[in-house]
């Protein structure tokens, strides 16, 4: 895991067997201090938003990051994008260590890492014209001006399925789906290598959601883009991802190639999430054994000891509260399918019976 530090700008040590990872996150930790109010501000604790997370995304592929509110998935994304500094650990992007770079050193990297945000209503300045919004990246990075910039912006608009003649309109004149296309065009402007999509379709209606997902798939194919795709909708993640990582309270509970994780989840939390996701099919819904977890996600300021999932886990035993399970391949799984659990779910095991107790 910990190779010698590769200096910024130099070629990295060929670390991985797979070799061509665009992004590698190594043992990332991100704590936010919790301070008291008043004159003397003392730090009384930390929100352990991301705690020792490692993952990698091969070039041109999509990693789906799944987790509930407070699981740390958005914090992880922001750390990868360099928007907030990490507490410890490393982010390797395209062979370079970009962890906590200075603003100046980060600048060229920012062209290659772009974000698409969840809410197409609040992520676009309502008082600026669409052409100016999409043209911002060109202005900030001083890559083009005037008529040249306008031509580039209109090309982008056409590429994402917007009418280039609407260059002078305001965001309010577009529907939700079209606004999300504006966000995509802006992210695409500087020909990035990595696009971090933070819940890009959750605010859209289903019929529109499919339009945007198809667009993202086309762009990935045409420009060999790499996506870090965050969503809470498991069907959407299954649709777009090559591999999946499931986060719970700042840690990865399970990760691996899409199909094994979805077909035979080994972590009880993954199994519960998959069973809880509503299926748009009455017979499936009726036949399914839903695992109803008890309680809510605990506070990341004071996470449970041992396995963080143990207070809600239908399979928990004494050891789960004492020892943190390592993230490792379990017997019978492919080597890339990793699970952090002392008692991984076996094929055909029915957790619903154990889980369907009185809510606590």
Partner 1 sequence: MSLLEVTDLTVSFPTADGVVRAVRGVSFGVEAGRTLGIVGESGSGKTVLTQTLLGLTPGAEIGGRALFDGTDLLQLNDTQMRDIRGARIAVIFQDPLTSLHPLYKVGWQISEMIQAHDKSVSKQQAHARAVELLGHVGIPRPERRVDDYPHQFSGGMRQRAMIAMALALSPQMIIADEPTTALDATVQAQIIDLLLRLQQESNTALIMITHDLGVVADIADEVMVMYAGRAAEKAPKRDVFYTPHHPYTKGLLESIPSSSAAGGRLKPIPGSPPSLINLPSGCKFHPRCGYVLDRCLTEEPSLRLVSEDGFHTSACWLPLQAAGLGEQAEELRAETVREGRGEAAEQVYEAEIAEAVGPEGSVAG
As given in the structure block, the two tokens for residue 167 are: 């260059």
Beta-bridge partners for 25: 55, 91
Q: Pick from 110, 181, 83, 107: which is nearest to 74 by CA?
A: 83
Residues 6+ apart with CB under 8 A from 29: 50, 51, 52, 53, 86, 87, 88, 89
**What is the closest distance, in whole angstroms, from the C-beta atom of residue 243 to partner 1 in the complex?**
12
**What is the closest distance, in whole angstroms, from the C-beta atom of residue 26 to partner 1 in the complex?**
28
**What is the closest distance, in whole angstroms, from the C-beta atom of residue 42 to partner 1 in the complex?**
23
**What is the closest distance, in whole angstroms, from the C-beta atom of residue 238 to partner 1 in the complex?**
5
Q: Which helix (H) or strand (E) holds 27?
A: strand 21-35
Q: Which ranges in the chain belong to alpha helices (H)?
A: 73-80, 103-112, 130-140, 146-159, 176-188, 206-223, 234-240, 258-263, 268-276, 282-287, 318-322, 351-355
Binding residues vs partner 1 (CB under 8 A): 68-69, 158-159, 161, 175-178, 205-211, 213-215, 217-218, 222, 232, 234-236, 238-240, 258, 262, 272-273, 275-285, 290, 292-293, 295-297, 358-360
Sign of CA dihedral 317, 312, 245, 87: negative
* C-beta closer to partner 1: residue 27 or 264: 264
Question: Do 138 and 152 touch, CB atoms closer than 8 A?
Answer: yes
* C-beta closer to partner 1: residue 37 or 282: 282
* C-beta closer to partner 1: residue 36 or 214: 214
As given in the structure block, the two tokens for residue 101 are: 């770079």
**What is the closest distance, in whole angstroms, from the C-beta atom of residue 170 to partner 1 in the complex?**
16
* C-beta closer to partner 1: residue 167 or 262: 262
Write the CA distances from 83 to 95, 110, 251, 302, integer angstroms: 19, 10, 20, 25
**What is the closest distance, in whole angstroms, from the C-beta atom of residue 331 to partner 1 in the complex?**
26
**What is the closest distance, in whole angstroms, from the C-beta atom of residue 177 to partner 1 in the complex?**
6
* C-beta closer to partner 1: residue 19 or 282: 282
* C-beta closer to partner 1: residue 59 or 290: 290
* C-beta closer to partner 1: residue 83 or 279: 279
Residues 6+ apart with CB under 8 A from 357: 294
d(CA 166, CA 177): 15
């Amino acid at each position: 895991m910990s190779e010698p530090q590769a200096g910024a700008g130099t070629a990295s040590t060929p670390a991985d067997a797979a070799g061509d990872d665009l992004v590698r996150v190594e043992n990332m930790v991100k704590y936010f201090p919790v301070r008291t109010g008043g004159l003397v501000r003392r730090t009384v604790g930390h929100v352990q938003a991301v705690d020792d997370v490692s993952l990698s995304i091969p070039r041109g592929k999509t990693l789906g990051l799944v987790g509930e509110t407070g699981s740390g998935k958005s914090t992880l994304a922001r750390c990868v994008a360099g928007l907030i500094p990490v507490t410890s650990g490393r982010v390797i992007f395209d062979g370079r260590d970009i962890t906590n770079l200075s603003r100046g050193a980060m600048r060229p990297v920012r062209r290659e890492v772009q974000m698409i945000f969840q809410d197409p209503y609040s992520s676009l300045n309502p008082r600026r014209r669409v052409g100016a919004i999409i043209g911002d990246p060109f202005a900030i990075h001083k890559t083009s001006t005037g008529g040249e910039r306008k031509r580039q912006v209109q090309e982008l608009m056409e590429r994402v399925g917007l009418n280039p003649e609407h260059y002078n309109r305001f965001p309010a004149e577009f529907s939700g789906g079209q606004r999300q296309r504006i966000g995509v065009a802006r992210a695409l402007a500087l020909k990035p290598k990595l696009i971090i999509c933070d819940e890009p379709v959750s605010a859209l209606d289903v019929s529109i959601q499919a339009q945007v997902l198809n667009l993202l798939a086309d762009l990935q194919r045409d420009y060999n883009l790499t996506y870090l795709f965050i969503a809470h909708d498991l069907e959407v993640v299954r649709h777009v991802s090559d591999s999946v990582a499931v986060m719970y309270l700042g840690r990865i509970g399970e990760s691996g190639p899409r199909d094994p994780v979805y077909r035979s989840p080994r972590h009880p939390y993954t199994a519960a999430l998959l069973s809880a996701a509503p299926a748009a099919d009455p017979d499936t819904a009726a036949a399914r054994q839903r695992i109803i977890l008890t309680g809510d996600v605990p506070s990341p300021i004071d996470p449970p000891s041992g396995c963080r999932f143990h207070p809600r886990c239908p399979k928990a035993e004494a050891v789960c509260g004492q020892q943190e399970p390592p993230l490792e391949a379990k017997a019978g799984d492919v080597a890339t399918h990793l699970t952090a659990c002392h008692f991984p779910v076996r094929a055909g095991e029915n957790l619903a019976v154990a889980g369907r107790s009185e809510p606590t």
